[in-house]
A and B are shown apart, each in its own frame.
Chain A
Amino acid sequence: MRVANLVTASVLLLLGGVAIFDSVRLGIGWGTDGPKSGFFPFWLGLLLVVSCGLIVVRAPFRASAKPFVRREQLRLVLKVLWPATAMVVLTQVIGLYVASALYLGFYMRWVGRHSWLAVIVLSISIPIATFFIFEKWFLVPMPKGPLEAWLGY
């Protein structure tokens, strides 16, 4: 827990530093017609650096023996996270509908061990339903790939 706490605070501290750095570039003072662009982010960044610094300084006094995440828990979390990431990568290449069909099918078979029939029926019908709801009724376009292009969308 302590390591995770320190790492998070350090990353945020760095972010505050980035904000300060960029604000100084933009000017943190008074321009011709009011405060310059960097004024507000500069003070935010400075406060963030100070607050994160305090977290880091007091961390040794507030040690928590509880681990940030147990190995078993992390395994379960990653089991959700990496297929989701793969789905996003696929969406970029082949569009959201095909990617979500593959993702649903893979996840149902791999984690749920559902029968192939259920896997095929659901992983095809759900993306088709979303296609009609978003693309047709609400006219919200989603990322599309070669399959949709071949079908003329």
Chain B
Amino acid sequence: MGLENLILGFHIAITPFNLFVAVIGITLGTIIGVLPGLGGANGVAILLPLTFRMPPTSAIILLTSLYWGALFGGAITSVLFNIPGEPWSVATTFDGYPLARKGQGGQALTAAFTSSFVGALFSTVLITFFAPILADVALKFGPPEIFAIQMLTFSSFVGLGGGDPLKSLISILLGFILAAVGLDIVTGQLRMTFGSTQLMTGFDFIVAVIGLFGIGEILLTVEEGLEFHGAKTVMNLRVVLDTWKVLPRYWRTFLRGSIIGFWMGFKPGGATPASFMSYAFAKQASKHPERFGKGELEGVVAPETAAHAAGVAAMLPMITLGIPGSPTAAVMLGGLIIWGLQPGPLLFTEKPEFVWGLIASMYTGNIIGVLMVLAFVPFFAAILRIPFAILTPLIIVVCAIGSYAVHNNMIDIWYMLIFGVIGYVFKKLDYPLAPLVLALVLGDLAENALRQSLIMSQGSLMIFVTRPIAGAITAVAAFFFLMPLLRPWWRRVRGVAAAVPSPREP
């Protein structure tokens, strides 16, 4: 039964128009991934207004292809320029750049793209099988379960995000508060507008993403100077084929990276820790750990496989539960709402052609993607040779166009600049931006779920504990929220235990 749906999906994904859309998406995505200051999330945000007139399936194929392209593009800058375009490409620079310096940039890039492809494919296959099952389960969810899952999403930023838990919490709260500004659709009252008509429409997450990630990132990049330095590379069919002959040797690394990536990926913010974990495991398991960091091909394979597996896996909670696993998925979720689709498990029964077209396009998009980037690396790398003084204003103009196009409102360009400065300050002070964006997107949905739950229970919060599924999810969420408080205590207990000499050790 799943297979029939997938075939239906392929019928949609391989129509000439949708294939054309995928190629455009990947080209633009790779360019965006290569450009400093533009990443997947704000690339998708800038293009979102252009999709309003498209059929939703083609629109989501365009946006997801853009996302795959941006993931591939991130590898190019990491290897050739030592600039990690996204946080999850940081680990790729460890061995990718040394390889490029040794004149083996072609091998490193081939390995990176192939690993990305393998990781993405692994996650796509798992999504094909797990998404319908998860959606079936999720169909039984009521408002309390949905709210509990949303809390779980945010709790994992606080408990597992890795940064300062308090600052993660503040980012989440700020996002929710910004989302509440404007007209409350349930009661029809205006909130936090203080008489200003401009604030009535509230803050749009697209503008926030473009400002926080686009403008903010540019401001951070220029701090380090106004130039880019890159390594030259030779890329031709022989290099690709020779590298492919070597790569099967690392099948264990591929498998390990894929599993780590998928497992970490469907939790929010998982791609970055997944890439580091995969790198660390590969180094540990290697016979030559001392070669890592000096230009070992396996050191490129490990993080890239995991990062892409995680990037694709982030789509799983988005299409089945309506909860995005990454900022980019959050923007896409916002897109679904704008196109008039209800994100969540109902999509599988009400819009099967959309869901399965999307899943099938993950296969086609990644196949087209890997072939395209392998063929056109020199072209994409040349983008970074465009002088800084042309590139920067161009990116800012594109960001302004994207912000304005959302509502045809001048104030949004101002918001973009303000969010840019906020993004810059937050990044410098280690406030994570991803939870802010997720909260901004999910704000209304979360509040509605909370309200409906409380109406069901006549105002008692116990509804989140007494319903079995909601109770279990709430318990995990509470555990993650409290983890930062438990950690010092746990360390002390373990510290005492470790101080007692273990008799089994010689």
Contact A69 B170 (CB under 8 A): no
- Whether the Cβ atoms of B170 and A55 lie closer than 8 Å is yes
Q: Considering the chains assembled together, what is the distance between the CA atoms of A48 and B424 in angstroms?
A: 20
Binds A, one of B58-66, B105-113, B172-180, B286-294: B172-180
**Bound CA–CA A35/B181 (angstroms):** 17
Report if A22-B173 is in contact (Cβ < 8 Å); known contacts: A51-B166, A96-B400, A112-B387: no
Contact at B394–A126, with CB atoms within 8 Å? Answer: yes
Do A30 and B393 form a contact, CB below 8 Å, given A12-B174, A55-B166?
no
Instruction: Answer whether A140 and B410 are a contact pair too, CB < 8 Å, given A22-B192, A76-B222.
Output: no
For A1, list chain B residues within 8 Å (CB). 429
Distance (whole angstroms) from the CB of B452 to the closest CB of chain A: 8
Tell whether, in the assembled complex, residue A44 and residue B173 are in contact, meaning their CB atoms are under 8 Å apart.
Answer: yes
Shortest CB-to-CB span from A114 to chain B, Å, is 7
Cα–Cα, bound, A130→B187 (Å): 42
Known pairs A103-B397, A130-B397; A48 contacts B392 (CB<8 A): no
Q: Is the CB of B177 within 8 A of A96?
A: no
- Residue B235 interfacial (CB < 8 Å): no
Q: Is the CB of A34 within 8 A of B454?
A: yes
Interface mask (B390-404 → A, CB under 8 Å = 1, otherwise 0): 101110110011001
Least CB separation from A84: chain B residue: B396
Give complex CA distance A47, B176 in Å.
11
Chain B residues with Cβ below 8 Å from A111 are: 226, 388-389, 392
A81 at the interface (CB under 8 A from B): yes
- For residue B375, CB closer than 8 A to chain A, the reply is no
Flag if B169 contacts A51 (CB, 8 Å). Answer: yes
Q: Is the CB of A48 within 8 A of B173?
A: yes
The residue among B167, B392, B414 with the most chain A CB atoms within 10 A of its own CB is: B392
Q: A40-B450, A48-B173 are in contact. Are A104 and B397 (CB under 8 A)?
A: yes
The answer to whether B392 touches A107 (Cβ under 8 A) is yes
Looking across the interface, which residue of chain B has its beta carbon closest to that of A141?
Answer: B408
**B451 in the interface, Cβ–Cβ < 8 Å?**
yes
- A26 interface residue per 8 A CB criterion: yes
Residues on B with C-beta less than 8 A from A142 are: 401, 404-405
Q: Does chain B have a CB within 8 A of A88?
A: yes
Chain B count of residues within 8 A CB distance of the other chain: 58
B421 proximity list for chain A (CB < 8 A): 81
Bitwise, A121-136 to B at CB < 8 A (1) or not (0) is 0100010001000100
Closest to A139 in B: B53
Given contacts A114-B389, A130-B397, contact A37 B173 (CB under 8 A): no
In contact, B177 and A48 (Cβ under 8 angstroms) = yes
B-facing residues in A91-132 (Cβ within 8 Å): 91-92, 96, 100, 103-104, 107-108, 110-114, 122, 126, 130
CA distance A138 to B405 in the complex (A): 11
In the complex, A47 Cα to B174 Cα: how many Å? 10
A23-39 vs B, Cβ < 8 Å mask (1 yes, 0 no): 10010001101111111
CA distance A31 to B414 in the complex (A): 36
Question: How far, in whole Å, are A10 and B389 apart by their CA atoms in the complex?
Answer: 36
Per-residue contact bits, chain B 192-219, to A (CB 8 Å; 1 contact, 0 not): 1010000000000000000000010011
Are B410 and A143 interface neighbours, CB within 8 A?
Answer: yes
Question: In this assembly, does B32 line the interface, its C-beta being within 8 Å of a C-beta of chain A?
Answer: no
Alpha-carbon gap, A80 to B184, bound state (A): 37
A100 contact from B192, B392, B397, B450, Cβ within 8 A? B397
A37/B191 in contact, CB under 8 A:
yes
Complex CA gap A19/B184 in Å reads 14
Given contacts A12-B174, A126-B394, contact A79 B222 (CB under 8 A): yes
A36→B451 CA distance, assembly (Å): 9
Q: List 19 A-B contacts (CB under 8 A).
A: A4-B428, A8-B431, A19-B177, A19-B180, A22-B191, A26-B191, A35-B450, A37-B189, A44-B180, A54-B166, A68-B428, A85-B417, A87-B393, A88-B400, A100-B393, A114-B387, A114-B389, A138-B53, A140-B50
